[in-house]
């Protein structure tokens, strides 16, 4: 499974218009050309269909659906097709089913599973749990309360259930959603390297260089890496730009050394 982050916060925090490597920011449902489907299951029609063991209150079809929850707790199953599911208010339980689904939890403590397909999940406000993330995070992950693997001593590990800010998650997911290291970057590298501080400058290093921003990009090479990414290196303190430069470095390191994490593991 692959994931992208909803980016409605971007308008408030970005100083300039940026073309991101992963242009998968999710638009409000009102701007999408789709038929809104809010289907209440009829008695006996679903058989044994369940979402986390619960009988659904709203169901989709085998086609592409837009399923909207209520202000209270909902149990929604998309079934087949490329569905858009919004839980909206309440503590919702949301299952995408087969197909490439886009699922928003919205306010409340939601449980979300994309199931099969190329899915995009966003928890929203609240203490949310995203399940079936084995391809990216090796098991069930609670967004906002992840427990990354400890770094090698003597560097301190992030505290259990460390609260990664939304902008960290959004920036990392936007550039690394299609890699197996997305959660590693969001919760481990960004914590160890910069303590989630976008404008931090680390160093000086033994060779007199410095490390810039969220993913601590070395000052000696950041201009070249930014050219690979097609962005302006002077905007390194923008989390989105920093992550895009890091992704260009990640890809090139994988090609050269066969280890895309080598630039971070050899500091």
Whole-prediction pTM value?
0.43
- Distances in Å between the alpha carbon of 15 and those of 134, 204, 235? 35, 28, 9
Give yes or no for residue 230 having a pLDDT over 90. yes
**DSSP string for 179-190:** STTHHIIIIIIH
**CB-facing half-sphere around the CA of 166: CA atoms within 13 A:** 14
> Of the given ranges (54-58, 105-109, 246-250), which has the lowest mean pLDDT?
105-109
DSSP state of 152: S
Give yes or no for residue 161 having a pLDDT over 50. no
Tens of pLDDT, residue by residue over 102-115, are 888 888 888 888 77
- Distance from C-alpha of 153 to C-alpha of 157, rounded to nearest angstrom: 9
The strand pair at 128-131 and 141-143 is best described as: antiparallel
Give yes or no for residue 243 having a pLDDT over 90. yes
Segment 180-206 shows an average pLDDT of 81
Q: Are 200 and 177 in contact, with CB atoms under 8 Å apart? A: no
Residue among 119, 125, 133, 60 at smallest CA distance from 91: 125
Q: Are 112 and 94 in contact, with CB atoms under 8 Å apart? A: yes
- Band (pLDDT 50/70/90 cuts) for residue 45 is very low
- Higher-scoring residue by pLDDT: 174, 17: 174
Neighbouring residues of 43: CB distance < 8 A, sequence distance ≥ 6:
none
Query: What is the rounded average pLDDT for all residues in the chain?
Result: 71
Segment 15-23 shows an average pLDDT of 27
Q: CATH 1.10.530.10: does it fit domain 146-267?
A: yes
**Helix, coil or strand: residue 143:** strand
Where in the chain are the domains?
34-143, 146-267
Percent share of the chain, pLDDT over 90: 25
> Of the given ranges (13-22, 124-133, 207-216), which has the lowest mean pLDDT?
13-22
- Band (pLDDT 50/70/90 cuts) for residue 174 is confident
Give yes or no for residue 31 having a pLDDT over 70. no
């Amino acid at each position: 499974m692959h994931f992208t982050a909803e980016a409605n916060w971007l308008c408030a925090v970005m100083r300039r218009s940026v073309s991101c490597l992963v242009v998968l920011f999710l638009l409000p449902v009102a701007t999408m050309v789709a038929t809104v489907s809010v289907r209440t299951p009829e008695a006996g029609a679903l058989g044994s269909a369940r979402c986390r063991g619960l009988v659904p209150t709203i169901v989709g079809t085998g086609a592409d659906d837009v399923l909207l929850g209520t202000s209270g707790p909902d149990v929604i199953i998309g079934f087949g097709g490329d569905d858009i599911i919004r839980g909206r208010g309440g503590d919702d339980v949301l299952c995408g089913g087969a197909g490439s689904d886009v699922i928003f939890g919205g306010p409340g403590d939601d449980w979300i599973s994309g199931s099969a397909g190329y899915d995009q999940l966003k928890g929203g406000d609240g203490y949310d749990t995203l399940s079936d993330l084995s391809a990216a995070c090796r098991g069930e992950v609670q967004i906002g309360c992840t427990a990354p693997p400890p770094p090698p001593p003597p560097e301190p590990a992030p505290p259990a259930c460390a609260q990664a800010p939304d902008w960290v998650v959004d920036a990392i997911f936007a550039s690394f959603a299609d890699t197996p290291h997305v959660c590693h970057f969001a919760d481990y590298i960004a914590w160890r390297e910069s303590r989630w501080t976008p404008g931090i400058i680390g160093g000086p290093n033994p060779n007199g260089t410095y490390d810039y921003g969220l993913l601590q990009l070395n000052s000696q090479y950041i201009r070249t890496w930014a050219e690979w990414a097609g962005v302006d290196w002077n905007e390194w303190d923008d989390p989105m730009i920093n992550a895009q430069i890091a992704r260009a470095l990640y890809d090139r390191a994988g090609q050269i050394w066969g280890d895309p994490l080598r630039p971070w593991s050899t500091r």
